[in-house]
Chain A
Amino acid sequence: MVTQPHHLYVHVPFCRLVCAYCDFVTVGGRAHDILRYTDALLHEIEARPAPGELRTIYFGGGTPSLLSGEQVGQVVQAAEVRWQHVALEEVTVEANPSERESPDWDGLRAAGVTRISLGVQSLRDEDLVTLARGHTAREARQAYAAARRAGFDNVSIDLIYGIPGQSPSDWRGVLEAALELRPDHLSCYALQLALQPDEWAAPPRPGALRWRNRVVPRQDDALAADQYRLAEEVLAGRGYRHYELSSWALPGRESRHNSAYWARRAYTGIGAGAHSYDGAAQRSWNTRDLDTYLEVAEMDECPVADAEVLNEQERAFEAIALGLRLVDGISRRAFEAEFRLDPVERYALALAETTRKGLIEVDGDAVRLSPTGRLLASEALISFAG
């Protein structure tokens, strides 16, 4: 029997400065707990089953670069020991490019990290002030250079557009500045601010909510749409392939870990609030509360808070929703192999509506979002929802 690929996500919630726009699980002012947390992560790895062949590890946050190289190394090593089958292709750490919390580049390198995802967000200081990022464009460039110097040959940069006060030409400037660094990978995210967070998002702190209330009225989604188009055009011209709605990569530099999400492969998520998927029908998630997490994990118990079992309809919808995030779209044959019906038949009504609206194209084996549809993906996906 072929061993199925498996992926490991490690959530590190600590931040020196919690960004007002962020709704991931984060905590500020708890840096003194990092040691204890790392230990809890090791406990959780032990408490978890370790199925399949471990292919990627991804340290996301929060700010995982607050961990020392040694701490990251302990987690990587524990995973390598715990999994019977290991064939690591990619170990990513998200890093914050701030001088005051300069990552342990050499340590990370030594720990076996192969890829850095740098939260640059903008290379325009006005934008960084609006976002209250706590670092400057200069610091971001320095951090990038330091990572390269330490020997990282696979570096991704995150950028944010749709920031109030950022014109299309400002955004072009940010893209050009980023391209000068010649990153292997770029993620461009629109600034999305939830004023009334859904039940699944971390509730914003009061200060964050005040900030959002100030910023939201200044947002203009028509402008953001133009900026997205601009990114597609500029990046394509420089050899970056647009492979997922928010992701561009030089050939061969696509994120393998994230690709596993979109391909609905199995992954284990450890740490506070991390999500896991068994590759079939079950999704589960850990407790979001840091203290609860620490206590439970230290007792060698599994900190899973809840789980859901997907029915066939939900699985099929996820296949569509995640598959359509990929610019190449969904393979009709692959879908049919899994769900026994060509998606063009199964979703005839939704496809009729979305193709009429010009959101989706059916092209041979592929069902994919049109260029307009990439900006209105949610609008298109709603038609397919159960």
Chain B
Amino acid sequence: MIPPERIRNFSIVAHIDHGKSTLADRLLEATHTIEGRLMQSQVLDSMDLEREKGITIKARAVRIHYEAADGHTYALNLIDTPGHVDFTYEVSRSLQACEGAILVIDATQGIEAQTLANVHLAMAQKLTIIPVINKIDLPSADPETVLSELEETLAIPREEVLLASAKDGTGVIEILEAIVARVPPPAHDGRAPLAALVFDSHYDQYKGVVAYVRLAAGTLHDHERIRFMATGAESEILELGFFRPQPVPTKRLVAGEVGYVATGLKSIREAQVGDTLTAATGGAASPLPGYQEPLPLVFAGIYPLRGDDYPELRDALDKLHLNDAGFVYEPESSVALGFGFRCGFLGLLHMEIVQERLEREFDLDLIASAPSVEYRVKLHHAADELVVDNPAQMPGPGDIDQISEPWVTTQVITPTDYIGPLMELATNRRGEFLDMEYLDPKRVNLHFEMPLGELIIDFFDQLKSRSSGYASLDYSYIGYRPGDLVKLDVLVSGEPVDALSLIVHRSNAYRSGKALVDKLKELIPRQMFEVPVQAAIGSHIISRETIRAMRKNVLAKCYGGDITRKRKLLEKQKEGKQRMKRIGSVEIPQEAFLAVLRMNEST
């Protein structure tokens, strides 16, 4: 048993691709936590999606035994953190479980927006920062510039910075020694009432909810009865242990230690990130600070492509939700898309991940409506504010006194060459420029405030394409502000198409309306009658096109007795027709909606 003063809890913060997972792999290898031959690249990232996208979605914790230069063996708990802005809340929980953080910066790229955001989180929690410049083996490595950047922007003295290459193992021992020397051991009052911070959890079909905890005070015993303070859920511990990185059961965990608790609970909602775990009797008087419900910021309708798949989609959402309390969902229906769910996500990447997991792990074909934010609507004749996350449910303009929308503050780190195009992009998206900070002579950090609604549609892709991939983005929610917003409806033959309604700024309404109408005109097949397609704000039509009536649809020739072909063509058309959605008497192929929804991603 390693005494508490030789425990070190730390995490690694880094921008995507700066080598966090590779460094973690090297630390596990160098300490023989995993033998080289069992090494699978990115051991900590166990979900397929994480490996493919090179990001960490769920935090993990691994105990490393390290025999330091002073001759003692230390227990180093590596607590992994998600690297993306959508998961800021999870990052801050993970960091709360640590006393130190390794800050990894790519020697060829320098500081990026998310690095800064996460370092600031770590500093706010008074963590010891161990700065590491990684990838120094690459020919394009420029550690000098990165050293200046660190000095300039984070006031980190250059003598504290370690140089490493996670790829070839350079500097790994120095990092381990720095963890031992610089990171303080956790406070360890083993006799105080039990209080353990839940910094992650997942659902296991045999063990129920497994909570990842860091003990702040007291001792956890196997088979003890425990309680989650925020949710009140109680259970008996089925198994207690730590990860190396495979689970190793143990009899007890004491203050300062990090491990897992298998609870047998049936829903991850009962043991959420940020909650405090304590003893069911004689537990802590008050929870550890900082619990908050995850806050969904981005909303979209998710529908099965085939209506028959609705029950499968419902089951899949239920199952996925067991493991991801960060998204919320409720049934909704749309004339154009049928039955589906309104879902709320932590951010765009989160939305993308949930959608991909649904499609991949549950084999569903899905269609998502354009992402939206949550609007707060003040009505003329009602005291309460209305909360609208689905444009189709926005009341008519006559009833609305004022609409407010969420704003975020963004930082964009970019080489100076792209300042112009990025300023233009942000301004087009109603961004308000705050200031510009030079990280070094060639790179700046641009600060904007902008509506989240503008950010979630295609902003990140535009940012990347206008900066040849060099710019990075971070944003955080700042609050609601009133805006001159209008609901834009699309009408086909006078009937509104609910799935295509958008909330837009009045100044963009005409452009968006025309784009939608033009696209629909192109996509809706001719009917036997004329079909007007309109964009409207309330009863005011702002754009109109007419789809002319179909005059002729006949297969001219019999193809030398090839009746089969003719019949199959007709059968195929019939099938297509049966899949069509009806808006009034107009038949519209679902592909038309798909194409328009995809277009929303890029207008």
Contacts and interface: CB of A to CB of B under 8 A. Distances in A.
Interface string B541-553: 0000000101111
Given A285-B562, A382-B574, A385-B574, A314 B553 contact: no
Interface in A270-321: 274-277, 283, 285, 308, 314, 317-318, 321
B560 A9 contact: yes
Interface residues of B, number: 28
A190 B552 CA distance: 10
Contact of A379 (B553, B561, B571): B553
B561 A382 contact: no
B564 A386 contact: no
B555 interface: yes
Contacts of A277: 561, 563
22 contacts: A9-B560, A189-B556, A200-B562, A200-B568, A221-B550, A221-B552, A222-B548, A245-B554, A274-B561, A277-B563, A308-B564, A314-B567, A317-B567, A322-B563, A357-B528, A375-B551, A376-B552, A377-B554, A377-B555, A378-B553, A378-B554, A381-B570
B557 interface: yes
A190 B567 contact: no
Contact of B558 (A261, A274, A283): A261
* B528, B565, B570, B572 — most chain A CB neighbours (10 Å): B570
Interface string A98-110: 0000000000000
Interface string B455-499: 000000000000000000000000000000000000000000000
A308 B558 CA distance: 18
Interface string A342-386: 000000000000000100000000000000001111110111011
Contacts of B559: 24, 275
A42 interface: no
A382 B554 contact: no
A83 to B, nearest CB: 18
A11 interface: yes
Nearest to A269: B561
A50 B566 CA distance: 26
A276 B528 CA distance: 35
Contact of B564 (A221, A222, A275): A275
A375 B552 contact: yes
A386 B553 contact: no
Contacts of B554: 190, 245, 374-378
Given A198-B568, A221-B550, A267-B561, 20 more contacts: A11-B560, A58-B560, A190-B556, A198-B565, A224-B551, A225-B551, A245-B556, A261-B563, A269-B561, A275-B562, A275-B563, A276-B561, A283-B563, A318-B567, A378-B553, A379-B553, A382-B570, A382-B573, A385-B570, A386-B571
Contacts of A201: 565
B53 interface: no
A67 to B, nearest CB: 16
A189 B555 CA distance: 9
Interface in A197-238: 198, 200-201, 221-222, 224-225, 228
User: Interface extent on A, as a size class?
Assistant: 35 or more
A192 interface: yes
A60 interface: yes
B182 interface: no
A294 B552 CA distance: 40
Nearest to B564: A283
Interface in A157-197: 189-190, 192
Contacts of B550: 221, 376, 379
A308 B550 CA distance: 33
A246 interface: yes
Contacts of B563: 261, 275, 277, 283, 318, 322
A258 interface: yes
A321 B552 contact: no
Contact of A376 (B528, B548, B569): B528
B577 interface: yes
B552 to A, nearest CB: 4
Contacts of B555: 192, 377-378
A322 B548 CA distance: 29
Contacts of A285: 562, 564
Given A221-B551, A376-B528, A246 B557 contact: yes
A202 B231 CA distance: 66
A378 to B, nearest CB: 5
B579 to A, nearest CB: 13
B572 A198 contact: yes
Nearest to B528: A357
A277 B565 CA distance: 13
Interface in A125-146: none
A222 B552 CA distance: 7
Nearest to A322: B563
A157 to B, nearest CB: 15
A275 B565 CA distance: 10
Contacts of B562: 200, 275, 285
Contacts of B528: 357, 376, 379
Contacts of A246: 556-557
B560 A274 contact: yes
A269 B565 CA distance: 15
A242 to B, nearest CB: 14
Contacts of B561: 9, 261, 267, 269, 274-277
A325 B556 CA distance: 10
A92 to B, nearest CB: 12
B569 A321 contact: no
Contacts of A245: 554, 556
A368 to B, nearest CB: 14
Contacts of A190: 552, 554, 556
B567 A321 contact: yes
Given A382-B577, A385-B574, A224 B558 contact: no
